[in-house]
Structure 1
Amino acid sequence: MRSILILAVMFGGASLAFTPAARAQSKIPIPVPRPDYVPDTTPQRQTASERTVLSGTKLTLADVVFMGLRDNRTIKSAYIDRIAQKFDLRVAEDRFTPQFSISGEVARQRIGDVTSTTIDVSPGVTMLTRTGATFDFVWSNSANIGDGNRTLSSAAQVTFEQPLARGAGIEVNMAPVQQARLGEKINRLRLRATISETIGSVIFTHRDLLLAQEELKLAEDAVGRGEDLLRINGALIASGRMAQMDAVQTEADVESQKLRVLRAKQQIETARLALLNLLGLDFATKIVATESLTPRKVDTKIGRLLAVALDQRPDYQGQLYVIDQNRLGLVVAKNEQLWDIALFARGRFGGEFASRSPTQNVADIVGGVRFRFPINDISRQQLLVQADTSYRSAELQLADIRAGVEMQIRGSAAEVSLLWQQLVIAEKARDLAARAIEIEKLKLNAGRSTTFQVRSLEDSLRTAENQLLAARIGYMNALTRLDLQLGTTLDTWKIALKD
């Protein structure tokens, strides 16, 4: 009798919920849901309102980027390498600085019954000029003290040599310094690339954690909708409109979504540990990723993007510096093919003093031209061949890098454009799928649908939700990849390298 009353109330309410205008719009009535359609005898289940609360420190994208800059081990290692690289540049630029030195010796010897002490001290300086001239100065001081006999000599020796062909010229002698400076620019670009790639890794890992968190929310929402459907089934079973066995598949679907919840929690833990590892934080730290999931559309004009990439990409700009280095190497190799001709001059001035002997002055001067003409030495020509092939290979590699840059930019621009279209379509599909379930549940309540149809639409909704989430994360990751390929990651995040 109670079942008959429930059916009467349900169908009566359904008929009162429609107006003539509504019947004119649709042949299938959509009743207004009523809060009292579930009988008191329906067993209560755990609802999706008991959602998992993720505890921990909330980290935005900006937080993880700047924490990565501070504590990431890859970046720390890159800065440690920069210590040696900057010192290499300092050594190269010290090429024309006068080099001072002091050499000496103190010795005591005994020959038969004669004992003597010898003291030698010789300070000196050596300098290379930008024209290739070398200047050496040595001041030799020697003293010999024996039994009743003392001798002392002090003389300054000056040597000067200026190449006239091989090794002559400012360009040739400055080449090693210029190559070192270009190498320093390349090293700075490599540091920039390392930091950009590390930032990209941190961003992608942060989004992996965000994706896992959002998948957990979707899974719990699916569980909640499944439990709502179970309550509807309970009402239909209690009213005699559905057999008990017809609700089994719905219960199986709910349990399946509970497994999905557990998998999402495991994915959250995996992504959390990966992010903590990149940030250099304690693995026991509880963190929650936060980021807006409403991306904006960006301009993907190829001409503008390609111009930015060629101006900012570390690999392309670095290859330009490599070509300059090889060009200088070619200049040096060509200079090595010249004859070895040089002007030289040597002079020695001083005196020798001995006990019970007059002082002897020393004044020797020598000057002239030194030359060496190789006849059949092809080893120097080998240097020229190697330098020429290196230079031409570097130019070919630049063309290859440029083609690769353009291919990447065109591919990323197309990916961003298509993913935006997918995002727009996925949002519409999700909204329509959600609306379809609402309508189908109302029809089920009115007896005009079946649980199987609701479950089918539920599967469609879950698919649409997953597609929308994947489209959002995929689009944001595509923008990050495009930023990396443009070489503008540090500019995007307003990061200035303090090297």
Structure 2
Amino acid sequence: MKLPGAGSAIIIGLGIASPALGGSKIPIPIPRPDYDPGTMVVATPDKAASLTESKRTVLRGAPLTLADAVFLGLRNNRSIKSAYIDRIAQKFDLRVAEDRFTPQFSVQGEVARQRIGDVKSTTLGVAPGVTFLTPTGATFDFAWNNSATWNEGGRTASSAAEINVEQPLLRGAGVEVNMAPVQQARLRESINRLRLRATVSETIGSIIFAHRDLLLTQEELKLADDAVVRAEDLLGINQALIISGRMAEMDAVQTEADLETQKLRVLQARQSVETARLALLNLLGLDLSTRIVARETISLKTVDTRVDNLIRVALTERQDYQGQLYVIEQSRLGIVVAKNEQLWDISLFARGRFGGEFASGSPTRNVTEIMGGLRFNFPINDLAKQQQLVQADTGYRGAELQLADIRAGIEMQIRGSVSEVDLLWQQLTVADRSRELAARAIEIEKVKLNAGRSTTFQVRSLEDSLRSAENQLLAARIGYLNALTRLDLQLGTTLDTWQISLKE
């Protein structure tokens, strides 16, 4: 889905790379020259024009397009930064899980000075070793134990290699069971990546809505200014009619009251602009004193809203749906492990010790010890093992039900958004025509007023209708674009629309 201003490819990671042109999956309106909110500029209070002098409110500030806002948000937004900080720990968790079958080296040692009665002795011991687990479940332990003791009676020393091997035959045996923790960690990492994509997508959506809110308030201020100009123009006509003796002076009082009401609406619109500006700056992570003006040339056109195609895209791209598929696979592996835990614990083992021992005044004695056998443990009524299997099974079935619930929710959202988009498109046509007719009606009524065939009351009534039509058209335009943005978020294609690649 191609959003207005979404013409740049952005690479986001722990840093942001430069833009490049890219395409999109679902069409979105392109800018239309005849509707340009960007013609407005924000003004500092000391240079603001006086409405009493029939001048428009001038807003000054740095122009900010939608693409600029998205780029700044990706670079500065605190939610995105926090998500990337979390990714540091998440990636390390995966590294730890994948280190499961890596040999673990260690060195143990001890130096001790001992006194028993009048006998003093010194003991030194060093034992480097390695332990590792194989995917079949076999464990290997190797240690090279070296020790020496000095006392008044002489010195003794020993050096021997010890090897222990154990291979489970039932519980804990098999590649699938032993690889399950690693596979679950990899699935969890995939879920974390999807969550990062969802966080970035939702943040982009929030920035787009905030930018359009600012654009909307700026346009509402412009319409309020237009209403003031028209009210002043009508007041001028009334004064001319009074001077010519064709209108009583008291008949212009209501027109003056309407003018003051429109000036009040201008002040309210300016406050709305300020509120929207602060909300956008907060999302962008910028200084709240920064003066900005939302600028965007907007064009509206109909889009392809075939529901079946959109649902198919959503099921492929939605982070929550894809993440739930990974959760189901994690639950399946949990059942595999739980079933394996129900088996008897039977293992083959072997142990060997090879080395020598030395004592002062005695020859070195070679040491060779070898032992092997079968070890078993048969639980009789261990309900904890059965509990693990029951929990794993219920977790799996619950995950499948949740997937169905997510799918139903996606379809409901897509169908609702499609209906909203179609209805708003129809409203746009009606609102545009209504605005044109309302403006034309005022022109005709003013001609009739000058000719003495109408009244000020009728002109004011038509002015109210025009203001309502203008606001409805503006709301319909922004609402239509926001509906397309919501649809883009619900499809899970926001990052594709803006050509954003997440790099870690």
> Does the alignment reach a TM-score above 0.5?
yes
Which residue is equivalent to 1:403?
A: 408
1:28-43, aligned counterparts within 5 Å? none
Q: 173, 187, 194: which one pairs with 1:168?
A: 173
Q: Alpha-carbon deviation of 1:400?
A: 0.3
Q: Alpha-carbon deviation of 1:295?
A: 2.1
User: Does the CA-based 8 Å contact 2:51-2:57 persist in structure 1?
Assistant: no
Which residue is equivalent to 2:87?
A: 82
1:457 aligns with 2:462: yes
3-state SS of paired residue (2:311): helix
1:117-128, aligned counterparts within 5 Å? 117-128=122-133
CA distance in 2, matches of 1:317, 1:105: 53
Q: Which amino acid aligns with 1:93?
A: E
CA distance in 2, matches of 1:269, 1:256: 20
User: Does the CA-based 8 Å contact 1:306-1:409 persist in structure 2?
Assistant: yes
1:204 aligns with 2:212: no
Q: Alpha-carbon deviation of 1:309?
A: 0.3
3-state SS of paired residue (2:162): strand
1:68 aligns with 2:68: no
Which residue is equivalent to 1:473?
A: 478
Q: 280, 284, 288: which one pairs with 1:283?
A: 288
Deviations 1:241-273 (A, max 9, x none): 100011111111110010000001001111111
CA distance in 1, matches of 2:132, 2:395: 31
User: Does the CA-based 8 Å contact 2:335-2:389 persist in structure 1?
Assistant: yes
User: Does the CA-based 8 Å contact 1:48-1:223 persist in structure 2?
Assistant: no
Which residue is equivalent to 2:257?
A: 252
Q: Alpha-carbon deviation of 1:180?
A: 0.3
CA distance in 2, matches of 1:493, 1:208: 20
Which residue is equivalent to 1:109?
A: 114
Q: Which amino acid aligns with 2:89?
A: A
3-state SS of paired residue (2:299): coil
User: Does the CA-based 8 Å contact 1:48-1:224 persist in structure 2?
Assistant: no
Gaps of 5+ in 2: 1-49
Deviations 1:3-40 (A, max 9, x none): xxxxxxxxxxxxxxxxxxxxxxxxxxxxxxxxxxxxxx
Which residue is equivalent to 2:152?
A: 147
Q: Alpha-carbon deviation of 1:48?
A: 7.6
1:186 aligns with 2:196: no
1:364-383, aligned counterparts within 5 Å? 364-383=369-388
CA distance in 1, matches of 2:92, 2:383: 35
Deviations 1:401-426 (A, max 9, x none): 00000000000010011001101110
User: Does the CA-based 8 Å contact 1:157-1:349 persist in structure 2?
Assistant: yes
Deviations 1:451-479 (A, max 9, x none): 00000000000000000011011111101
CA distance in 1, matches of 2:56, 2:299: 23
Deviations 1:71-127 (A, max 9, x none): 000000000000000000000000000000011111111222222111111111000
Deviations 1:251-305 (A, max 9, x none): 1111001000000100111111111111111111000001223222211110110
Q: Alpha-carbon deviation of 1:235?
A: 0.8
Change beyond 3 A, Cα 1:114–1:215: same
Change beyond 3 A, Cα 1:461–1:48: farther
3-state SS of paired residue (1:282): coil
Q: Tell me the TM-score normalised to structure 1 length.
A: 0.90
Q: Alpha-carbon deviation of 1:200?
A: 0.7
Which residue is equivalent to 1:17?
A: none
Q: Alpha-carbon deviation of 1:46?
A: 5.7
User: Does the CA-based 8 Å contact 1:353-1:359 persist in structure 2?
Assistant: yes
Which residue is equivalent to 1:349?
A: 354
Q: Which amino acid aligns with 1:140?
A: N
CA distance in 1, matches of 2:70, 2:307: 28
CA distance in 1, matches of 2:478, 2:350: 75
Q: Which amino acid aligns with 1:217?
A: K
Which residue is equivalent to 1:420?
A: 425
CA distance in 2, matches of 1:298, 1:47: 44
Deviations 1:318-348 (A, max 9, x none): 0000000000000010111111111110000
Q: Which amino acid aligns with 1:83?
A: I
CA distance in 2, matches of 1:378, 1:88: 31
Q: 417, 440, 445: which one pairs with 1:440?
A: 445
Q: 340, 345, 354: which one pairs with 1:340?
A: 345
User: Does the CA-based 8 Å contact 2:140-2:165 persist in structure 1?
Assistant: yes
User: Does the CA-based 8 Å contact 1:216-1:261 persist in structure 2?
Assistant: yes
Q: Which amino acid aligns with 2:374?
A: V
Q: Alpha-carbon deviation of 1:488?
A: 0.4
Gaps of 5+ in 1: 1-44
How many pairs are equivalent? 455
Which residue is equivalent to 2:182?
A: 177
3-state SS of paired residue (1:496): strand
CA distance in 2, matches of 1:273, 1:222: 26
3-state SS of paired residue (1:52): coil
3-state SS of paired residue (1:341): strand
User: Does the CA-based 8 Å contact 2:51-2:263 persist in structure 1?
Assistant: no
Which residue is equivalent to 1:320?
A: 325
CA distance in 1, matches of 2:435, 2:297: 18
Deviates further, 174-183 or 296-305:
296-305
CA distance in 1, matches of 2:491, 2:454: 54
Q: Tell me the TM-score normalised to structure 2 length.
A: 0.89
Q: Alpha-carbon deviation of 1:47?
A: 6.9
User: Does the CA-based 8 Å contact 1:48-1:220 persist in structure 2?
Assistant: no
Change beyond 3 A, Cα 1:165–1:58: same
3-state SS of paired residue (1:110): strand
Q: Which amino acid aligns with 2:77?
A: N
3-state SS of paired residue (2:172): coil
CA distance in 1, matches of 2:317, 2:214: 30
Which residue is equivalent to 2:6?
A: none
Q: Alpha-carbon deviation of 1:160?
A: 0.4
Which residue is equivalent to 1:94?
A: 99
Which residue is equivalent to 2:40?
A: none
Q: 279, 283, 294: which one pairs with 1:274?
A: 279
Which of 1 and 2 has greater Rg? 1
